[in-house]
Structure 1
């Protein structure tokens, strides 16, 4: 999982070196067997502006000044790991960042085989019969389908792979690859700024992610390839069933 975002990561004894002076050190504990300490250079910038979104809770956790540069990238990595593994990030001051497992609901399938607009629509309708094709230019290499979900929709789009995800950067075939993105568009755009959703919203996010997963599996079943989440981390297809 780490190498999806940090291909240079190296495990030495109980420490994973991540580059930029950043490392993860395993701290064995009977109560918390999955506990790791993140060591990073301290680089801070100005305080978070209250009027700006703070979906990750960084402004709350780092009220004296936001992490910047290498420290910010290390924090983003830790937040992503916590989201994927169902954990939390605890800062040295004791602030707790606990992302919802479905806080990122976008997925991507990267494959060598293309899929026509009609085929993409048929796959989407197998998951949700009310899916509808969206208009595109006649000579476009892009195809798009809208899939209704609770209080919003999922946009499924096929197009060229650009940029190449870090997780697949070493693959020799990406220049010819096709990207299938599945993006959640909630009815209320401000929903994306929530750090901690209420129970009803969190449950709805989980259902939306499940539908996105079914769409990704349908695409992968037709064209093969790899599945990544919206932050570029490889996803085991078994986790989407």
Structure 2
């Protein structure tokens, strides 16, 4: 395989770009798949030395700083391409980088390839105090990226987390997202399972799991709101809800006492029907108490938000059900810390395998695809 063109570390334009630094072994098609998981219409574009950097956002493979030596070697290197992410944003690469150059740029010494992001500079207000898991508040203290720059930069950080890399922002800050910080998984499928069925599946790996919905029949319903006694005579003590319903009927012009009683009796009958034959659940949850490590939750509901990679597939046409497997620590604010406490990391290390185990058994039952927190698809064999 031909060597990669060297990163033009001395090009002044490089200092004005966001960089995605990746370790050895990451292929361009992996970057493309992650881009297609977040953006629509992702495509490769040619990036020749004749392209204008200000127009395409692609740094030429040959620059004046690299001299004639690079010109002679250019024919023996892999050509640089640009991956179009959005209307105004593209990612050029991969470039090879020497260890000393990576360290000089502040990147991890394990960096072997670098991708150069060209995106519009769109900054908003200064960041508010609070959580900063991705480190963007630290990187942009004078104004956070907004609109397209925000979207592509968030994807850049998510890609670095998934691929074990790092991001160097245009401000010079280095973001090294922790891959272990992404714990939650979602099974996306066309199959709907009833709450008791999901509970039984989860209990295969977590016997202490229980439904978070109310047990059917645990509520007896409201007492009669008709205002009649047990023999149907007027004058019984109405419930507070009945008084509110009577006042509402009077407010909307139902002045006839018998008509009000008829409408209130219909309301009673509807409540009794719902208790006897409640409608099927449209969303529910299963919980597992992990003690000092927090809670594990499986949230089930229909969803219309899908990774672009799944849109248009035949099995999504009739609707998609999301089985979201989440870990919630006891100190929830630690989830948004760039450097969480040791106790949080220990609890996370014990809980993450449980999330994977639950997602794995659910996927084995309902099929479909598994996505992580960033909407990147996950191979079940990797769980």
Task: Judge same fold: TM > 0.5, yes or no.
Answer: yes
Residue 73 of structure 1 is aligned with which of 146, 151, 161?
Answer: 151
Specify whether residues 11 and 206 from structure 1 end up closer, same or farther in structure 2 by C-alpha distance, changes over 3 A only.
farther
Residue 196 of structure 1 is aligned with which of 334, 339, 352?
Answer: 339
Distance 1:84 1:127 in 2: 26
Distance 1:209 1:47 in 2: 34
1:145 aligns with 2:282: no
Distance 1:231 1:109 in 2: 13
Post-superposition Cα deviations, 1:185-222, rounded to whole Å, max 9, x if no partner, equal 22112112211224443343233222111111101101
Distance 1:127 1:163 in 2: 28
SS in 2 for 1:65: coil
CA contact (8 A) 2:304 2:320 kept: no
SS in 1 for 2:92: strand
1:154 aligns with 2:296: yes
1:210 equivalent in structure 2: 353
Higher-strand-fraction structure? 1
1:19 equivalent in structure 2: 86
1:164 equivalent in structure 2: 306
Provide TM-score, normalisation by structure 2. Answer: 0.58
Post-superposition Cα deviations, 1:124-168, rounded to whole Å, max 9, x if no partner, equal 111111111122574213232102335211110222123334332
Higher-helix-fraction structure? 2
Structure 1 spans left out of the alignment, 5+ residues: none
Specify whether residues 72 and 115 from structure 1 end up closer, same or farther in structure 2 by C-alpha distance, changes over 3 A only.
same
Provide TM-score, normalisation by structure 1. Answer: 0.90
CA contact (8 A) 2:284 2:300 kept: yes
Residue 201 of structure 2 is aligned with which of 123, 132, 144?
Answer: 123
Q: Which structure has the larger Rg?
A: 2
Residue 126 of structure 2 is aligned with which of 40, 47, 57?
Answer: 47
Pairwise CA RMSD? 1.9
SS in 1 for 2:365: helix
2:58 equivalent in structure 1: none
Q: CA deviation at 1:30?
A: 4.8
Q: CA deviation at 1:77?
A: 0.4
Structure 2 spans left out of the alignment, 5+ residues: 1-33, 46-79, 100-110, 217-277
1:135 equivalent in structure 2: 213
CA contact (8 A) 1:9 1:19 kept: yes
Q: CA deviation at 1:22?
A: 1.0
CA contact (8 A) 1:124 1:147 kept: no
Specify whether residues 178 and 57 from structure 1 end up closer, same or farther in structure 2 by C-alpha distance, changes over 3 A only.
same
CA contact (8 A) 1:156 1:181 kept: yes
Distance 2:353 2:359 in 1: 10
Distance 2:350 2:314 in 1: 35
1:181 equivalent in structure 2: 324
1:4 equivalent in structure 2: 37
Q: How many residues align?
A: 239
